[in-house]
């Protein structure tokens, strides 16, 4: 019997949501992740062939991933490579399919359904003493691996879930580059209690052989990142905001997005130095195009609707809310001033 997207695939996926408050076990990239991956017909080596850019952080990691995907798409359209760009992010705004994209588009309902059940039918439906069942986030990460491998993407850009060290996405053992966006106090019950603890988790995506990048961080965070990089014998580079970015473009009006864009651009340049070393200079010609094509709904998003202008942002902690307030305050300087007055017959006039 043919199985549907909404009735069957989404119902099965939602059945794996934690019934109580989330814990690290709900997203843990344990040995079970490797076992589930192998049951699905794939291997760790298959993940290595995805040419991954792996991004963690507290604020801006999704935007950094989206900027990286946009830059690579602009470069690929110009040079012919990469042709297929996979992007895995969370959470989604309207459809779960937004979390798994190829070339800037969520996979279709039919593709999601087909790939989901190719995976679902091979995985255990109940826990055993030796093997658990994948939970919601673990299942989504496995699905993204399956989709990107089967679709033969040229590059896969992965946003870690909440942490890093124990994240389900962290079974990627050979990313080409790793990047850490701004780290702040968030998910303290899972990753804390201190910001140093949070930084330790985020830096868990660092891998031997892959350059580690980070946006500028507070001193106590930078120290932890440097220590973790030293433990793994890798180079860590901190990325400042690139002064020559075309900040007049709408996507870069929020100050935080300039840092995310700079981090993404450095990650992409690093990726190109490995995968397209003879043509990486062409990236310079595609920076503006990549920024113009950037889209990340719900993050510093402006919607113009007839007489109304909406400013939307999913700020989820104190530090990101501060950036949102600054963004809106700057935008409000140029808003039209509306005056409400009464007419003789008591109607309200908005002018």
Contact between residue 40 and residue 121 where contact means Cβ atoms under 8 Å apart: no
The pTM is what? Answer: 0.89
Assigned domain for 189 exists: yes
Mean pLDDT of 147-157: 98
Assigned domain for 333 exists: no
Assigned domain for 49 exists: yes
Assigned domain for 12 exists: yes
Assigned domain for 315 exists: no
Grade residue 345 by pLDDT with cuts at 50, 70 and 90.
very low
Domain region containing 263: 5-297
Please give the sequence-ordered ranges of beta strands (E in DSSP) within the chain, or none if there are none.
Answer: 53-56, 85-88, 100-102, 105-106, 155-159, 177-180, 211-215, 236-239, 301-305, 308-312, 340-342, 348-350
How confident is the model over 66-103, as pLDDT tens digits?
999 999 999 999 999 999 999 999 999 899 999 999 99
Question: What's the number of domains the chain is made of?
Answer: 1
> Does the N-terminal peptide bond of residue 82 adopt cis geometry, omega within 30 degrees of 0?
yes
Assigned domain for 87 exists: yes
What are the strands of the beta sheet with 211-215, ordered from one edge?
A: 105-106, 100-102, 85-88, 155-159, 53-56, 177-180, 211-215, 236-239
Q: Which CATH number characterizes residue 51's domain?
A: 3.40.1190.10
How confident is the model over 212-265, as pLDDT tens digits?
999 999 999 999 999 999 999 999 999 999 988 887 788 888 888 999 999 999
Grade residue 177 by pLDDT with cuts at 50, 70 and 90.
very high
Indicate the average pLDDT of the chain. 89
pLDDT score recorded for residue 247: 75
Assigned domain for 141 exists: yes
Assigned domain for 257 exists: yes
159 three-class SS: strand
Question: Does the pLDDT at position 342 exceed 60?
Answer: no
């Amino acid at each position: 019997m043919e199985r549907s997207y909404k009735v069957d695939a989404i119902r099965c996926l939602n059945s794996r949501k934690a019934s109580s408050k989330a814990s690290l076990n709900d997203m843990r990239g344990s040995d079970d992740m490797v076992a589930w991956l192998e049951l699905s017909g794939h291997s760790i080596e298959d993940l290595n062939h995805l040419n991954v850019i792996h991004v963690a952080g507290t604020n801006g990691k999704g935007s950094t991933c989206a900027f990286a995907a946009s830059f690579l798409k602009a470069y690929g359209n110009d040079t012919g490579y990469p042709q297929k760009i996979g992007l895995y992010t969370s959470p989604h705004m309207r459809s779960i399919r937004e979390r798994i994209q190829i070339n800037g588009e969520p996979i279709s309902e039919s593709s999601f359904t087909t790939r989901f059940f190719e995976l679902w039918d091979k995985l255990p439906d109940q826990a055993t003493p030796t093997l658990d069942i994948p939970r919601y986030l673990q299942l989504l990460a496995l699905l993204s691996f399956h989709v990107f491998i089967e679709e033969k993407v040229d590059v896969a850009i992965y946003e870690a879930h909440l942490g890093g060290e124990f994240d389900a996405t962290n079974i990627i053992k050979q990313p080409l580059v790793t990047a850490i966006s701004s780290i702040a106090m968030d998910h303290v019950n899972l990753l804390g209690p201190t910001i140093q603890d949070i930084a330790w988790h985020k830096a868990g995506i660092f891998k031997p052989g892959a350059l580690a990048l980070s946006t500028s961080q507070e001193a106590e965070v930078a120290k932890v990142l440097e220590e973790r990089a030293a433990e793994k014998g890798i180079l860590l580079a901190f990325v400042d905001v690139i002064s020559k970015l075309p900040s007049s473009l709408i996507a870069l009006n929020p100050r935080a997005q300039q840092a995310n864009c700079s981090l993404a651009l450095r990650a992409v340049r690093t990726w190109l130095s490995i995968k397209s070393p003879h043509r990486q200079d062409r990236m310079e010609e595609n920076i503006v195009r990549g920024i113009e094509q950037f889209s990340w709904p719900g993050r510093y998003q402006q919607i113009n609707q007839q007489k109304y202008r909406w400013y939307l942002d999913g700020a989820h902690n104190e530090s990101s809310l501060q950036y949102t307030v600054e963004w809106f305050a700057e935008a409000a300087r140029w808003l039209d001033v509306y005056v409400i007055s009464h007419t003789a017959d008591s109607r309200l006039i908005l002018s």
